[in-house]
Amino acid sequence: MYTQGLTIVHTGNGKGKTTAALGLALRAWGQNLRVLIIQFIKGNSKYGELNALAALPGDNIKIIQMGEGFTHRDNGISQDEHISAAKKALQTAIDAESSDNWDMIILDEINYAVKFNLLTVDDVLKVVDNKPQDLHLILTGRDASDKIIAKADLVTEMTEIKHPYKQGIKAQKGIEF
C-alpha cells in the first residue's frame, strides 16, 4: 500500500501538543510502522512516555531526549549549551529522515527550539523540505512559524480555555509528565 507522508504541526498555547503526537506514535506503532521521537527540549527527565514506550515490545518505536531542559529555568545550562543540544537533535532528525529506517518522525518541541533561538526557521524548513514522500513528519511546540505552518498538510492549534495550574494546582503525574 502506498503511503502519502504528511507533515503535521501541533501548536498553540493549550495543553496536548506532545500528547497528541504520542497518540499518533502509538497508533502508527499499532499499524507496525517504525516511529522515531526526538525531544528537542526535554532531557534527562523521567516523563511517563519514556516508561510507556520502553514497555512496548519490539524496536519499531524509539524516543530520544536530546534537550538540556527548559531554557527559561535557571538550571546552570548556558544558552550555548542549549543551542548545541538543539543542533545535535536537528542533525539526528536529518540523519533519521534520510536513513529510510522510519515511517514516522516526531520532532517534539522543535517549535520551542525556534522560539528560544536555539534553531532558525530555515533550519527546520530544511527538514520539512527534504522529507521523503512516504514519511510522516510531526512537529510540536507553541508558536509555530507561519512558514512552517504553510508547508504543513495538517495543522492543529491547541487552545487553552481553562488550566488547573492557574488555580494553583501543580503539574500532575500522568497528566503533564
* Predicted confidence (pLDDT) per residue in 15-66, tens digit: 999 999 999 999 999 999 999 999 999 777 778 888 999 999 999 999 999 9
- Which one of 2.60.120.260, 3.10.105.10, 3.40.50.300, 3.40.50.1100 gives the CATH number of domain 7-167? 3.40.50.300
DSSP string over 29-40: HHTT--EEEEES
For the chain, the structural domain boundaries read 7-167
On the question of pLDDT at 72 being above 60, the answer is: no
CA neighbours closer than 13 Å in the CB half-sphere of residue 8: 20
Query: Is the distance from CB of 33 to CB of 61 less than 8 angstroms?
Result: no
Percentage helix, strand, coil for the chain under 3-state DSSP, each rounded to 5? 40, 15, 45
* Predicted confidence (pLDDT) per residue in 101-116, tens digit: 999 999 999 999 999 9
* Predicted confidence (pLDDT) per residue in 125-177, tens digit: 999 999 999 999 999 999 999 999 999 999 999 999 998 888 888 888 888 88
User: Cell 498553540 belongs to which residue?
Assistant: 12
Residue 68 CA to residue 90 CA, distance in Å, equals: 14
Q: Which residues contact 146 (CB under 8 A, 6 or more apart)?
A: none
Query: Is the distance from CB of 32 to CB of 56 less than 8 angstroms?
Result: no
**What's CA 80's distance to the chain center, in Å?**
21
**pLDDT band at 71; cut points 50, 70, 90:** low
Read off the pLDDT of each residue in 119-129 and give the average, rounded to a whole number: 98
On the question of pLDDT at 2 being above 80, the answer is: no
pLDDT at res. 46: 77
pLDDT at res. 144: 98
